[in-house]
Copies of this chain bind each other. A is one copy, B any other.
Amino acid sequence: MKRDDLPPATGWTLARRAERMNPSVIRDLLKVTERPGIISFGGGLPSPRTFPVAAFAEACERVLRDDGPGALQYASSEGYGPLREAIAARLPWKVDPSQVLVTTGSQQGLDLVAKVMIDTGSRVLVETPTYLGALQAFAPMEPEAVGVASDGEGIDVADVARQRGDARFLYVLPNFQNPTGRTMSETRRQALVHVARATALPIVEDNPYGDLWFDAPPPAPLTARNPEGSIYLGSFSKVLAPGLRLGYIVAPAAVAPKLLQAKQAADLHSPSFNQRLVVEVLRDGFLDRHVPTIRALYKAQRDAMLAALQREMQDLDVRWNAPDGGMFLWVRLPAGMDAMALLPKAVERNVAYVPGSAFYAGEADHRTLRLSFVTASQEQIATGIAALATTIRENLPVRPC
């Protein structure tokens, strides 16, 4: 039988959910802006200067010398015991290591939560704006994602109560949020936990940036206040290195077994070698010495960006916030401008950012954009913000007299 005797198979019928999967706007933008000479404030990449390369080199040597075959073998879906213990020990509320599920980055945590909690059409509450990666992780399970009103202090708790309905959960990123950089205030947290408990609304709390505070730690996590009503997602991507793909979930008994089963079906387990590396690197309080160096660097970077914004844009009707930690700040362009439409013009001037519209579950504010202050150098920040100011100035809408 020759292959060509028959027509080619044309039987690909995709799942309905595949229609909802779309390329990440950010991802495609970043490809454009990777070309040499562009100063990009777009990507959410930690500064590679913060990666403890020497500590990892030592850890690789020790792990492979002490039990190489064990480190390279299949392992349990829950995660490596000593890593689960280290994670539980660092969290600021009482967590038993058995509650910790190691994930392939905290992005996988979102995928598992979606699988276990979302049916087609399930109502899911998110902040306005919210983390794009969460919207993408939830999308394959076809929820109805509903944006709750939010301001500089975080989510509007009265609107949570109004929108609660039969929502399966509320997804929040309280510390130095991606994309806005904002932090939920203590008052807001208390009120939110009150409403969540009063209305039995589960909370999915995502906290990848919480350790990256500049002057003072953020208020206690929501999960610490209501552990039986919350799922907590954490990550090593911002305090050690994202290339290891290690995060974790802390979940109450009501959902933990199903999350574990979903994890097993998704990738059997997260890389055992990487888990052992992190345990080695974490020894002797490494993070207590290492994380302050990241904080100091990122604070200086934030200050450089705030200074540049002040210097270059004070005469423009541009608004921005001053985040207390993390990696991002949030900018609103003058009335009549559209950050997506402006981007190609900015790229012509060799500066890039992420338009804010990608981060909205509902109607987007097209004047917004996200700037990362951690990847570019301070010199690049000065140059790039000046170029962005010029771009804005050149494209200001003509106002009617």
Contacts and interface: CB of A to CB of B under 8 A. Distances in A.
Given A6-B197, A10-B200, A244 B271 contact: yes
Query: Taking each of A194, A228, A267, which has the highest tally of chain B beta carbons within 10 Å of its own beta carbon?
Result: A267
Contact of A14 (B68, B116, B228): B116
A266 interface: yes
Interface stretch (A45-53, A153-161, A325-333, A344-352): A45-53
A264 interface: yes
Interface in A59-88: 60-61, 64-65, 68-75, 77
Interface residue tally of chain A, by bracket?
35 or more
A122 B140 CA distance: 16
Interface stretch (A20-28, A291-299, A314-322): A20-28
A199 B244 contact: no
A136 interface: yes
Nearest to A21: B261
A377 to B, nearest CB: 14
A105 B17 CA distance: 23
- Main secondary structure, interface of A, reads helix
Contacts of A265: 21, 107, 111, 133, 136-137, 139-140
B27 A53 contact: no
Given A11-B200, A15-B115, A64 B74 contact: no
B226 A243 contact: no
B202 A9 contact: yes
B15 A229 contact: no
B72 A1 contact: no
Interface of A: 1, 3, 6-18, 21-24, 27, 43-46, 48-49, 51, 53, 56-57, 60-61, 64-65, 68-75, 77, 104-105, 107-108, 111, 115-120, 122, 133, 136-137, 139-141, 166, 168, 190, 193-194, 196-202, 225-226, 228-230, 237, 241-245, 252, 254-255, 257-258, 260-262, 264-274
12 contacts: A6-B194, A9-B229, A15-B119, A15-B168, A16-B119, A17-B119, A21-B116, A45-B74, A57-B64, A57-B68, A60-B64, A140-B265
Q: What 5 A-B pairs come out closest when comparing CB atoms?
A: A9-B229, A11-B200, A48-B69, A53-B68, A72-B241
